[in-house]
Structure 1
Amino acid sequence: MSKDLLTLKGVHTHIGAYHILHGVDLTVPRGQLTMLLGRNGAGKTTTLRTIMGLWKASQGRIEFNGTDITALATPQIASMNVAYVPENMGIFSDLTVRENMLLAARGAKHAGQMDDTRLKWIFSLFPAVEKFWNHPAGKLSGGQKQMLAVSRAIVEPRELLIVDEPSKGLAPAIINNMIDAFAQLKASGVTILLVEQNINFAKRLGDTVAVMDNGVVVHSGSMKELAEDENLQHSLLGLAI
């Protein structure tokens, strides 16, 4: 079994006339949390969407668990125990929290068939999901919607969790709750790929890091090393952690 659960090799992505990814090389080690950092417009979200098959790679290869998934459709990739939480969260506003969760629990036809032990674990991570179980999801706050989005992604066991900017627009207390939840998810054996702009979030959670600029990965290595090297932070991100 390879130590890397996910690898991208020379991946290019075109969206219409625009060439967004210019040969992305990325490795996501099994059982670790990999941060994908970079300035706005660097290609981070495009990378996630290309991994999930929402946009097709025009060149290169994407492997998950040793299987070439480059040309697979999104439902096929999701069926391999891969979950994706997009930046807009993808919540169904007119449905209740329970109904949103049920839609993601592919093995259940009604709420009573959802894994009760797993639900209790999710409720321990995100108490608001239990509190607003029968409320319309559209009535939740931004932080509560983000909790629901992550909860929905993990309502069934996942081998890989891909999340785009989970802390965006959240209050500090909610961010701390989210950090604790991702730490527990990682401890449970889930491999996580996370795009994040909150550098404190990245520093506290990341094992490995890849930094993107202009559609390519320009740096990869230990998150701890990047967090301790102020000159490297300035050169890659224009900021200091």
Structure 2
Amino acid sequence: MSDALLELSGVHTHIGAYHILHGVDLVVPRGQVTLLLGRNGAGKTTTLRTIMGLWHASQGSIRLGGEDITRLDTPRIAQRSIAYVPENMGIFADLTVKENLLLAARSAANAAQMDGERLQWIFGLFPAVQKFWNQAAGKLSGGQKQMVAVARAIVEPRDLLIVDEPSKGLAPAIVNNMIAAFEQLKRGGVTILLVEQNIRFAQRLGDGVAVMDNGRVVHAGPMAQLAQDEALQRSLLGLSL
């Protein structure tokens, strides 16, 4: 197994008076796609937000590439070659698609300075990004916005990509496009952590899987093992894949 790029050990998170995460242990191996599954309210999104410092762990540790990032604020975490696409996508509706990507291209002061070769690669992954390049992002469909959100996250090379429910509400054709994009990113050496409810999406992409329930990881192992064990699926997820 690859070494761990990201590791959570005994992570607890409180939001106000609410104790959401209860000692999360999670290992994300370098160069792999790890799926975070679980019922609604299990703590998946809170785990991602805690990794990114949007909510701070009240106990435990988070290590990225061996560095303890538990107490860092979000901008400093984002500087460590990590990109996050939240469930709501975080698109700036009044800005054009080009301007949305430019915001994330830290090495470019204007669009002309953006990496042209990388942009062409992104256009190949997500043709809609090129098609609507100069249009306001808020006018795009949900699937097109999701493509823009992922494109923005990878407009510069990243070691780790964290995405919350990338296929939510997308048409099957766009889901297939998204799967192909993540497969290509993985082949390029990007480590990916996904929260996902689309089981076909999870099965096709996942190398490893962690299942959460009540703020804890209750199962971790190969995705293929979970996909083949119907009894385990029903026990952990309350359904059959």
The answer as to 2:43 corresponding to 1:43 is yes
Q: Any residues of structure 2 matched to 1:87-126 within 5 Å, and which?
A: 87-126=87-126
Deviation at 1:102, TM superposition (A): 0.4
Alpha-carbon separation, structure 2, partners of 1:117 and 1:39: 40
Alpha-carbon separation, structure 1, partners of 2:224 and 2:169: 25
Alpha-carbon separation, structure 1, partners of 2:228 and 2:119: 38
Q: In structure 2, what is the equivalent of residue 180 of structure 1? A: 180
Q: Helix, strand or coil: the match of 1:212?
A: strand
Listed one character per residue, the Cα deviations across residues 172-198 of structure 1 (whole Å, up to 9, x for unaligned) are 111010000000010100000000000
Alpha-carbon separation, structure 1, partners of 2:146 and 2:59: 33
The answer as to 2:184 corresponding to 1:218 is no
Alpha-carbon separation, structure 2, partners of 1:37 and 1:96: 33
Count residues with an aligned counterpart.
240
The answer as to 2:166 corresponding to 1:134 is no
The answer as to 2:161 corresponding to 1:154 is no
The answer as to 2:103 corresponding to 1:71 is no
Q: In structure 1, what is the equivalent of residue 23 of structure 2? A: 23
Deviation at 1:81, TM superposition (A): 0.4
Listed one character per residue, the Cα deviations across residues 191-227 of structure 1 (whole Å, up to 9, x for unaligned) are 0000000011000000000000000000000000000
The answer as to 2:198 corresponding to 1:198 is yes
Alpha-carbon separation, structure 2, partners of 1:60 and 1:186: 29
The answer as to 2:13 corresponding to 1:4 is no
Deviation at 1:112, TM superposition (A): 0.5
Deviation at 1:29, TM superposition (A): 0.2
Alpha-carbon separation, structure 2, partners of 1:201 and 1:105: 28
Amino acid at match of 2:27: T
Q: Helix, strand or coil: the match of 2:235?
A: helix
Deviation at 1:42, TM superposition (A): 0.1
Amino acid at match of 1:150: V
Amino acid at match of 2:86: P
Q: Helix, strand or coil: the match of 1:94?
A: coil
Listed one character per residue, the Cα deviations across residues 136-165 of structure 1 (whole Å, up to 9, x for unaligned) are 000100000000000000000000000000
Alpha-carbon separation, structure 1, partners of 2:73 and 2:133: 32
TM-score normalised according to structure 1 size: 0.99
Q: Helix, strand or coil: the match of 1:166?
A: coil
Deviation at 1:93, TM superposition (A): 0.2
Deviation at 1:78, TM superposition (A): 0.4
Listed one character per residue, the Cα deviations across residues 55-103 of structure 1 (whole Å, up to 9, x for unaligned) are 0000000000000000001010000000000000000000000000000
Amino acid at match of 1:101: L
Q: Helix, strand or coil: the match of 1:36?
A: strand
Alpha-carbon separation, structure 1, partners of 2:31 and 2:50: 22
Deviation at 1:10, TM superposition (A): 0.1
Alpha-carbon separation, structure 1, partners of 2:239 and 2:207: 20
Alpha-carbon separation, structure 2, partners of 1:94 and 1:240: 42
Q: Runs ≥4 in structure 1, deviation > 3 angstroms?
A: none
Deviation at 1:45, TM superposition (A): 0.1
Amino acid at match of 2:135: H
Amino acid at match of 1:213: D
Deviation at 1:228, TM superposition (A): 0.5
Amino acid at match of 2:177: N
Q: CA RMSD in A?
A: 0.6
Q: In structure 2, what is the equivalent of residue 14 of structure 1? A: 14
Alpha-carbon separation, structure 1, partners of 2:56 and 2:166: 24
Amino acid at match of 2:169: G
Q: Which runs of 5+ in 1 are unaligned?
A: none
